[in-house]
Amino acid sequence: MKKKESSLKNMLLSMALIAGISGFALGFVYQITEPKISAAKKAKEENAIRTVLPDFQTKEEKSILLDGETKEITYSVAYNGDQLVGVAVNTYSMNGFSGEIGLMVGILPDGTLNKVSVLLCNETPGLGTKMSDPGFYTQFEDKNPSSFKFSVKKDGGDVDAITSATISSRAYCDALDRAYKVFNQIVPTK
């Protein structure tokens, strides 16, 4: 068989064929794996809700679009019978050092923060990822924004920032602030 001449036309045809086959293979793999990825993400969120709220019997999942925002925020309102146990807000901040961070924030009916679980963190390993360490996140537990300012001390708040990761700490506080905006819109004040 005669070797084909190396020309621009032959190279473009070869590249188009390789790109087409690769695109088809990628689409095929996505179709197979996407349901499993979605199920794993949903299970992680359900586990986070159980982690950040006290025990509950039922919950209602809803979503809201805050003023000036483009991304809906989902939240779960949890009950024991007719008694409100708390609200779990799946919040985020786009201000992390490496982009978006995602948190599940549990807020009790009186506005006290119960617990926080990190769902998404692409921050610098060993620095920003310390937002998942108890030494950082436990400082927020049992705190209420009426008596504890959810911003880093450099910005006049009460939060001890992660050493060398102030941007990540600010993003964490931004996500908490967004969760409280949701909470204040859905839970009537007494």
Q: What is the mean pLDDT of each run of 10 residues along the chain (190 residues)?
A: 75 92 93 91 92 94 89 94 94 91 95 93 82 87 90 88 87 93 80
In a domain, 21, yes or no: no
Residue 85 to residue 74: CA distance in whole angstroms: 17
Query: Which pLDDT value is given to residue 1?
Result: 61
In a domain, residue 18? The reply is: no
Cα of 9 vs its chain's centroid, Å: 47
DSSP H stretches of helix in the chain? 8-52, 134-137, 166-186
What's the total number of domains in the chain?
1
The pLDDT score that the predictor gives to residue 93 is 93
Specify whether the CB–CB gap between 63 and 75 falls below 8 A.
yes
In a domain, 6, yes or no: no
Q: Is residue 94 one of the residues assigned to a domain? A: yes
Do 187 and 109 contact (CB within 8 A), yes or no? yes
**Does any domain span residue 1?**
no
Query: Which of 73, 69, 82, 85 lies closest to 45 in space, CA to CA?
Result: 73
pLDDT for the residue numbered 190: 47
Within-domain flag for 131: yes
Tokens of 84: 């409100």
Provide the domain limits for residue 151. Answer: 48-186
What is the pLDDT, as a whole number, of residue 126?
A: 80
pLDDT of residue 90: 96
Look at residue 175 in the predicted model and tell me its pLDDT.
Answer: 94
Residues in the chain: 190
Q: Is residue 35 part of a domain?
A: no
